[in-house]
């Protein structure tokens, strides 16, 4: 079957000016390859495929001795307590997409978008209101905007300079990349961070700022100036001895050049740095007077921290000296100190940011730089780690954290498109840490007024951490972790809580019942069988970016003594909804896909394949279905609110749906 090419006008939109093809992969009912679905060490030992599908399964750490108590009591205060974070948003967690892979992850160009990516963003929009995505990374510093590229491509790697083989080949791109970002923002509520290339400040390339501002407008949140400048000397991009003051001077030079550039109108509050990777300490940069010197231009402060690196293996080959054994390092991700250790180093800086009214951004992070570790970065353990780490950063007054997305050669991706040559028969692979982003979005909700506190629960046992979230002034949610793996069930715990009136002398505030959603898998080592509230994205090559299965929210009836018991499996995470917050939901069955009738009612067209296209209902996000993957709407009846992507549809007029043919 070869469905026709269809065009639909959306007459209710203000300006009809553009055409978008929502790109469908043609599914042929082909299931996963054996390489990806094999598991266990035998398969892993002989595995030679891409890191993104590495089948390594590690051993879960043994139950610690002594094990954490499996029953404990937590008193909670109904009114806000001292020590809460600043107000946080449901879009606290976002993504950092390596510049060189945007043509794989986001789309081929502005008219050829990746449907799974749209769905993945839509899921988060539904829960957290919007999504922040940074396009950048190591490859941003040597990226160059050009007018055109051969074959009408939007990006291409520069040829290796044979005279100077140590020079990193740059990425050349056209304005099509920026148009693609704008067109994505027309469909889902995504806002963007970009970076100004800084490999050569005597010969600046400001094209991305000029064209980015013109094309993205308000969707552009800011420009990163310098990607991990504390690595520049080490990577021989700057002379030895390159200092924080040198970096600050170069920041100033770019700032001045942007201000002098007639094609750039907004510089105030648009730039950010220093995006340190841990070689320099933040104080080294603050001590130069960085904030005062660039106060007008600074829109936020940023860091770029990974807890570990796998660079020895990557650069030195699999048997390189100094390489990290994933099994050895795995336990270091599996307790509460993992996130705390990172966050603790930035508490003075986040306080400084607050004093200066500046948001504090973790612009790039993940389990380990240089691609992560097999069996660690793609395990359920990494989901537990990312969830606790994200909440810990939020508690520590970071305002945003972006999980890095690389290509096929990394273990840690939150989502990975199939290799280009397999895109007709494989779907996407959703990594465990993507589930963490969903859970964090739900933990904060859409009010932008959620404040979080680390409860130091269970006598501060590092294997059973918990957080409370106040939404506005209402105690709204609890986030409870159990890091232990024990299939016998003996280390499942029961947290009993009561809600009191706090200092206000209110009556007992324990509700009659609460709702609970679980993030679970059989083991911290598991790579598949991960479910959030009973739903999953499946295993390798199985997802179109929509959750499958029935969403299961458990209702727990509290006891007559005004306490509630919440069980948390080993391993597992529970998000407990304590109160009904107006505008916030705990079920997301209405992350929308559109029925034929709903679409034809509003669109000037005779027919549409029901599985072809769905658009935003303007409030809860949208699902952009892929043809044939699972026919019909997965979640309840369509409800159409007639403003397509109210959240920022930018003059989007015509949408076409193009099926890829074999």
Q: Which is nearer to ligand NAG, 443 or 638 (CB)?
A: 443
Nearest approach in angstroms of CB 69 to ligand NAG is 25
With CB under 6 A as the contact rule, the residue among 77, 78, 111, 369 that binds ligand NAG is: 111
Q: Does 196 bind ligand NAG (CB under 6 A)?
A: no
Q: Does 190 bind ligand NAG (CB under 6 A)?
A: no
With CB under 6 A as the contact rule, the residue among 218, 235, 651, 660 that binds ligand NAG is: 651
Q: Which of 478, 479, 474 is nearest to 502 (CA)?
A: 474
Q: Which two tokens stand for residue 482?
A: 């159990």
Q: What distance in Å separates the CA atoms of residue 628 and residue 626, rounded to the nearest whole number?
A: 6
User: Candidates 107-115, 120-128, 277-285, 399-407 — which segment interacts with ligand NAG by CB under 6 A?
Assistant: 107-115
Nearest approach in angstroms of CB 176 to ligand NAG is 6
Q: Which of 245, 109, 82 is nearest to 176 (CA)?
A: 109
End-to-end CA, the chain: 10
Q: Which is nearer to ligand NAG, 86 or 498 (CB)?
A: 86
Q: Does 450 bind ligand NAG (CB under 6 A)?
A: no
Q: Which is nearer to ligand NAG, 460 or 529 (CB)?
A: 529
Cβ neighbours, 10 Å, residue 239: 9
Q: Which is nearer to ligand NAG, 514 or 645 (CB)?
A: 645
Q: Which is nearer to ligand NAG, 15 or 641 (CB)?
A: 15
Nearest approach in angstroms of CB 85 to ligand NAG is 5
With CB under 6 A as the contact rule, the residue among 138, 144, 327, 596 that binds ligand NAG is: 144
Nearest approach in angstroms of CB 540 to ligand NAG is 9
Contact letters for ligand NAG, residues 5-44 (x by CB under 6 A): ------------xx-x------------------------
Q: Which is nearer to ligand NAG, 368 or 540 (CB)?
A: 540
Contact letters for ligand NAG, residues 72-91 (x by CB under 6 A): -----------x-xx-----
Nearest approach in angstroms of CB 199 to ligand NAG is 4
Residue with tokens 């003075």: 348
Q: Does 109 bind ligand NAG (CB under 6 A)?
A: yes
Nearest approach in angstroms of CB 147 to ligand NAG is 13
Q: Does 392 bind ligand NAG (CB under 6 A)?
A: no
Conformational region of residue 552, where left means phi above 0, alpha means psi within -120 to 50, and beta covers everything else: beta
Q: Which is nearer to ligand NAG, 232 or 577 (CB)?
A: 232
Q: Which is nearer to ligand NAG, 331 or 390 (CB)?
A: 390
Q: What distance in Å separates the CA atoms of residue 39 and residue 497, rounded to the nearest whole number?
A: 40
Q: Does 347 bind ligand NAG (CB under 6 A)?
A: yes
Contact letters for ligand NAG, residues 591-630 (x by CB under 6 A): ----------------------------------------
DSSP class per residue in 599-647? HHHHSS-S---TTT-----SSS-B--PPTTSS-S-SSS-----SSTTTT
Nearest approach in angstroms of CB 17 to ligand NAG is 6
Q: Which is nearer to ligand NAG, 7 or 309 (CB)?
A: 7
Instruction: Give CA separation, 102 vs 125, 359, 485, 594, in Å.
Output: 20, 26, 37, 27
State yes or no: cis peptide before 284, omega within 30 of 0.
Answer: no
Q: Does 396 bind ligand NAG (CB under 6 A)?
A: yes
Q: Which is nearer to ligand NAG, 166 or 560 (CB)?
A: 166
DSSP state of 158: P
Q: Which two tokens stand for residue 11?
A: 């007459």
Q: Which of 512, 519, 556 is nearest to 535 (CA)?
A: 519
Q: Does 652 bind ligand NAG (CB under 6 A)?
A: yes
With CB under 6 A as the contact rule, the residue among 15, 46, 200, 503 that binds ligand NAG is: 200
The arrangement of strands across the sheet holding 171-173 comes to: 144-145, 171-173, 155-157
Q: Do the Cβ atoms of 41 and 309 come closer than 8 Å?
A: no
Q: What distance in Å separates the CA atoms of residue 572 and residue 583, rounded to the nearest whole number?
A: 27
Nearest approach in angstroms of CB 340 to ligand NAG is 10
Q: Does 390 bind ligand NAG (CB under 6 A)?
A: no
Q: What distance in Å separates the CA atoms of residue 103 and residue 146, rounded to the nearest whole number?
A: 16
Q: What distance in Å separates the CA atoms of residue 194 and residue 481, rounded to the nearest whole number?
A: 34
Conformational region of residue 282, where left means phi above 0, alpha means psi within -120 to 50, and beta covers everything else: alpha
Helix (H), strand (E), coil (C) string for 543-564: ECCCCECCCCCEEEECCCCCCE
Q: Does 179 bind ligand NAG (CB under 6 A)?
A: yes
Buried b / exposed e along 458-469 (16+ C-beta atoms within 10 A): beebbbbbbbbb
Task: Kindly list the residues in this chain that would bind ligand NAG in the complex (CB under 6 A).
Answer: 17-18, 20, 83, 85-86, 108-112, 142, 144, 152, 158, 170, 176, 179, 182-183, 186, 199-200, 347, 354, 395-397, 528-529, 539, 650-652
């Amino acid at each position: 079957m070869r469905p026709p090419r269809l065009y639909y006008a959306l007459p209710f939109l203000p300006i009809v000016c553009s055409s978008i093809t929502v790109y469908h992969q043609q599914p042929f009912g082909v299931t996963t390859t054996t390489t990806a679905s094999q598991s266990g060490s035998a398969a892993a030992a002989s595995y030679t495929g891409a890191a993104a599908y590495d089948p390594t399964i590690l051993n879960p750490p043994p139950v610690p001795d002594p094990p954490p108590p499996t029953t404990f009591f937590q008193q909670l205060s109904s009114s806000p307590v001292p020590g809460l974070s600043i107000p946080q948003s449901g879009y606290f967690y976002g993504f950092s997409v390596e510049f060189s892979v945007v043509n794989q992850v986001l789309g081929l160009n502005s008219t050829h978008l990746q449907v799974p990516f749209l769905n993945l963003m839509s899921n988060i929009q539904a829960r957290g209101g919007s999504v922040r995505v940074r396009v950048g990374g190591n490859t941003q510093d040597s990226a160059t905007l050009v007018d055109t590229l051969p074959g009408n491509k939007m990006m291409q790697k520069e040829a290796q300079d044979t005279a100077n083989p140590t020079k990193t080949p740059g990425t050349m791109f056209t304005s099509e990349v920026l148009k693609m970002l704008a067109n994505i923002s027309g469909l889902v509520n995504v806002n963007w961070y970009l970076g100004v290339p800084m490999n050569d400040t005597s010969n600046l390339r400001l094209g991305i700022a000029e064209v980015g501002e013109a094309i993205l407008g308000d969707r552009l949140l800011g420009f990163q100036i310098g990607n991990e400048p504390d690595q520049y000397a080490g990577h021989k991009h700057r002379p030895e001895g390159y200092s924080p003051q040198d970096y600050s001077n170069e920041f100033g030079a770019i700032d001045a050049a942007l201000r002098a550039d007639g094609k750039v109108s907004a510089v105030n509050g648009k730039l950010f740095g220093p995006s340190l990777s841990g070689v320099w300490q933040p104080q080294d940069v603050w001590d130069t007077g960085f904030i005062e010197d660039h106060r007008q231009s600074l829109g936020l402060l940023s860091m770029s921290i990974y807890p570990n690196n796998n660079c020895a293996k990557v650069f030195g080959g699999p048997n390189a000296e100094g390489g990290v054994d994933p099994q050895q390092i795995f336990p270091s991700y599996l307790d509460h100190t993992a996130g705390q250790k990172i966050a603790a180093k930035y508490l003075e800086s986040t306080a400084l940011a607050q004093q200066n009214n500046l948001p504090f951004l973790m612009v790039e992070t993940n389990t380990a730089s240089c691609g992560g570790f097999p069996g660690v970065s793609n395990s359920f353990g990494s989901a537990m780690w990312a969830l606790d780490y994200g909440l810990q950063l939020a508690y520590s007054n970071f305002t945003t954290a972006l999980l890095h997305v690389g290509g096929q050669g990394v273990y840690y991706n939150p989502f990975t498109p199939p290799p280009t040559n397999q895109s007709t028969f494989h779907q996407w692979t959703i990594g465990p840490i993507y589930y963490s982003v969903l859970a964090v979005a739900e933990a904060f909700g859409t009010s932008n007024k959620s404040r979080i506190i680390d409860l130091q629960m269970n006598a501060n046992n590092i294997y059973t951490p918990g957080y409370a979230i106040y939404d506005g002034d209402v105690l709204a949610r609890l986030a409870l972790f159990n890091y232990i793996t024990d299939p016998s069930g003996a280390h499942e715990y029961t947290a009993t809580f009561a809600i009191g009136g706090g200092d206000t002398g209110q009556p007992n505030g324990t509700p009659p019942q609460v709702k609970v959603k679980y993030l679970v898998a059989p083991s911290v080592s598991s790579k598949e069988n991960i479910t959030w509230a009973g739903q999953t994205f499946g295993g390798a090559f199985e997802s179109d970016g929509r959750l499958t299965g029935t969403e299961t929210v458990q209702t727990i009836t509290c006891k007559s003594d005004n306490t509630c018991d919440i069980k948390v499996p080993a391993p597992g995470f529970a998000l407990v909804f304590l109160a009904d917050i107006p505008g916030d939901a705990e079920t997301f069955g209405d992350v929308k896909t559109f029925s034929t009738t709903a679409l034809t009612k509003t669109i000037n067209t005779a027919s549409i394949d029901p599985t072809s296209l769905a658009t935003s209902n303007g409030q809860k996000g949208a699902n952009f279905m892929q043809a044939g993957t699972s026919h019909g709407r997965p979640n309840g009846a369509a409800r159409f609110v007639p403003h397509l992507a109210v959240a920022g549809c930018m003059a989007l007029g015509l949408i076409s749906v193009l099926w890829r043919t074999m």
